[in-house]
């Protein structure tokens, strides 16, 4: 008996968040993933590091692999005993040729399961603000292939019936046949004034919509160079778009935003950009790693009770400090009687997750404000521990020392040059594909410049919005010749995103 199995999984229409939980589990447990052009590449991030990833995408002008070759590939991989996840855009059984693949598996005695996905026929109109049914417009809809050969002697589409018998018509992948589709519908009784919407790359940040009527939509599409992948939506429900459009009205819709944080920390900023309709492009310019030598930190941890204050200036500082505390077989009880300071709300939240109450958080999240706030609270002779990065600014320990404190600065983690693909970023800047650059620290700025290593940086950044998390980061950018467009008023990720939303970035 063949031990392998194939999961025919619908990946949804493009937005990776529209994958089902069952589909996601199939990706996670697969030893082989065979994926299509319309399946979001972001879903591959959930695959096992050991999984074999095979692209078999098809576009109108090029096929990575023909359908019969894909069928045979699934059979061969399953016969080798693999768990194969066949990741298909939309739903595998809605013009996805999943039925053909399933038949091939049956003929070869291969076990398979079908995991339905959200079809673009319903999801894409919804993201364009168009319900396929509406009580005041129509109670039915039909999904029709849009790429039937118009030169066929006998069509499989009953044009005479669907033209007037169905309220909403959804044609998938029919841009090449748009003039033919419009002509056939008008020829069989549909009014030339019937509203039509074209939606390209639906549910994704690059979604684009074009509205017209049956009599003019083909000309409009040609003029706008509107191409596949797109759906064609015909019916009175298209009129609801003016009222119900939501996705394309998001504040960052259509904007690609460069995220320069370390890969470990990028998710929070990327997630917020996506929520606001933008497309984050992660280019980690920094990487956070363990310190080279933990002897100074270990000694400090062994003598925590001797310190009056411990000041944490980053989330990373907290994480690495408590990781080391555990390695030394100690816990938060070692901090009994020690006052805790956190530079900002995220650092405070991280400390609170370990059951600690923070004694002081400055109103403005930078070292200068910590010093101002601790005046009168730090007495001459007090021991103060600063567990932080190896390249942290010296203003804080210097100022505390001037107040008479006995400051011990220990390296808790290192910040090194990231491994982002500078070539891709340079190309995106040349093609005007990046609209916003975000910098969350001076390190991200310095390493961005170092990684790109170009003489024409100002030219590449022309018309690009440069957003900084605060004045220290802004000053570093300006010193390196980068003009800062906007600076966060609150020096947090939330403040940075709010600042970006208030700018008019390039259309």
The dotted CATH code for 122-249 is 3.30.950.10
Alpha-carbon 116 to chain mean position = 23
Instruction: Return all residues near 69 (Cβ < 8 A) that are at least 6 apart.
Output: 56
What is the edge-to-edge ordering of all strands in the sheet holding 195-200?
141-145, 168-172, 230-234, 195-200, 208-213
Strand blocks (E) in 78-117: 83-88, 111-115
CATH class label, 290-415: alpha beta
Please list the pLDDT of the chain residue by residue as tens digits (507 residues): 568 999 999 999 999 999 999 999 999 999 999 999 888 888 999 999 999 999 998 665 566 788 999 999 999 999 999 999 999 999 999 998 999 999 999 999 999 999 999 999 999 999 999 999 999 999 999 999 988 777 777 888 999 999 999 999 999 989 999 999 999 999 999 999 999 999 999 999 889 999 999 999 999 999 999 998 999 999 999 999 999 999 999 999 989 999 998 776 668 888 899 899 998 999 999 888 999 999 999 999 999 999 999 999 889 999 999 999 999 999 999 999 999 999 888 899 999 999 999 998 887 766 677 777 788 788 889 899 999 887 777 778 888 888 888 989 999 998 888 888 899 999 999 999 999 999 998 999 999 999 999 988 988 998 899 999 999 899 999 999 999 999 999 888 889 999 998 875 434
Where along the chain do the CATH 3.40.1010.10 domains lie? 5-118
Residue 108, both tokens: 């070869």
CATH topology of domain 5-118: Cobalt-precorrin-4 Transmethylase; domain 1 (3.40.1010)
SS3 annotation, 143-161: EEECCCCCCCCCCCCCHHH
| Fold adopted by 256-285+418-501 | Rossmann fold (3.40.50)
For tokens 């930190």, the residue is 297
Q: Where in the chain is the domain with CATH 3.40.50.10090?
A: 256-285+418-501, 290-415
Catalytic site residues? 36, 58, 173
Give start-end residues of each CATH 3.30.950.10 domain in the chain.
122-249
Report CA-CA distances (Å) from 125 to 207, 279, 401.
11, 20, 63
The per-residue DSSP string of 234-259 comes to ESGGGGGHHHH--GGGSTTTT-EEEE
In the numeric block, the tokens 């999801």 are attached to: 123
CA-based nearest residue to 202, from 130, 142, 98, 96: 130
Q: What letter would DSSP give residue 74?
A: H
Distance from the Cα of residue 51 to its chain's centroid: 22
């Amino acid at each position: 008996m063949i031990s392998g199995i194939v999961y025919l999984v619908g990946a949804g229409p493009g937005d990776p968040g529209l994958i089902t939980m069952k589909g996601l589990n199939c990706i996670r447990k697969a030893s082989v993933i065979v994926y299509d052009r319309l399946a979001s590449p972001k879903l591959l991030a959930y695959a096992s590091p050991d999984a074999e990833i095979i692209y078999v995408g098809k576009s109108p002008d090029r096929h990575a692999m023909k359908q019969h070759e894909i069928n045979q590939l699934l059979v061969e991989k399953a016969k080798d005993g693999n768990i194969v996840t066949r990741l298909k855009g939309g739903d595998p059984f809605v013009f996805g040729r999943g039925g053909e693949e399933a038949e091939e598996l049956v003929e070869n005695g291969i076990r398979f399961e079908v995991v339905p996905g959200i079809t673009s026929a319903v999801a894409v109109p919804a993201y364009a603000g168009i319900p396929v049914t509406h009580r005041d417009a129509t109670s039915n809809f039909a999904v029709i292939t849009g790429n039937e050969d118009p030169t066929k002697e006998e069509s499989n589409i009953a044009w005479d019936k669907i033209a007037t018998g169905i309220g909403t018509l959804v044609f998938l992948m029919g841009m090449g046949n748009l003039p033919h589709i419009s002509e056939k519908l008008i020829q069989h009784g549909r009014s030339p004034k019937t509203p039509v919407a074209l939606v390209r790359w639906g549910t994704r940040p690059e979604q684009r919509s074009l509205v017209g009527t049956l009599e003019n939509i083909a000309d409009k599409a040609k003029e706008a160079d509107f191409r596949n992948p797109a759906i064609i939506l015909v019916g009175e429900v298209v009129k609801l778009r003016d009222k119900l459009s939501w996705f394309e009205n998001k504040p960052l819709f259509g904007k690609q935003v460069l995220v320069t944080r370390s890969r470990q920390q990028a998710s929070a900023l990327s997630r917020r950009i996506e929520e606001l309709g933008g497309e984050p492009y992660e280019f980690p310019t920094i990487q956070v790693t363990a310190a080279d030598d933990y002897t100074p930190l270990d000694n400090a941890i062994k003598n925590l009770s001797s310190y009056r204050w411990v000041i944490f200036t980053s989330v990373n500082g907290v994480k690495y400090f408590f990781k080391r505390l555990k390695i030394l077989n100690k816990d938060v009880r070692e901090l009994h009687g020690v006052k805790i300071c956190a530079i900002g709300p995220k650092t405070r939240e991280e400390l609170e997750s370990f059951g600690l109450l923070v004694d002081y958080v400055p109103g403005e999240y930078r070292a200068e404000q910590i010093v101002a706030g601790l005046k009168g609270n730090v007495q001459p002779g007090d021991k103060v521990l600063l567990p932080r990065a190896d390249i942290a600014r010296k203003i804080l320990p210097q100022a505390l020392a001037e107040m008479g404190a006995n400051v011990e600065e220990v390296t808790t983690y290192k910040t090194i040059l990231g491994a982002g693909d500078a070539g891709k970023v340079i190309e995106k800047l040349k093609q005007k594909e990046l609209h916003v650059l975000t910098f969350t620290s001076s390190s991200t700025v310095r390493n961005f410049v170092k990684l790109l290593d170009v003489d024409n940086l100002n030219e590449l950044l022309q018309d690009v919005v440069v957003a900084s998390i605060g004045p220290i980061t802004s000053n570093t950018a300006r010193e390196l010749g980068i003009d800062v467009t906007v600076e966060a008023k609150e020096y947090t990720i939330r403040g940075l995103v709010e600042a970006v939303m208030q700018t008019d970035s390039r259309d």
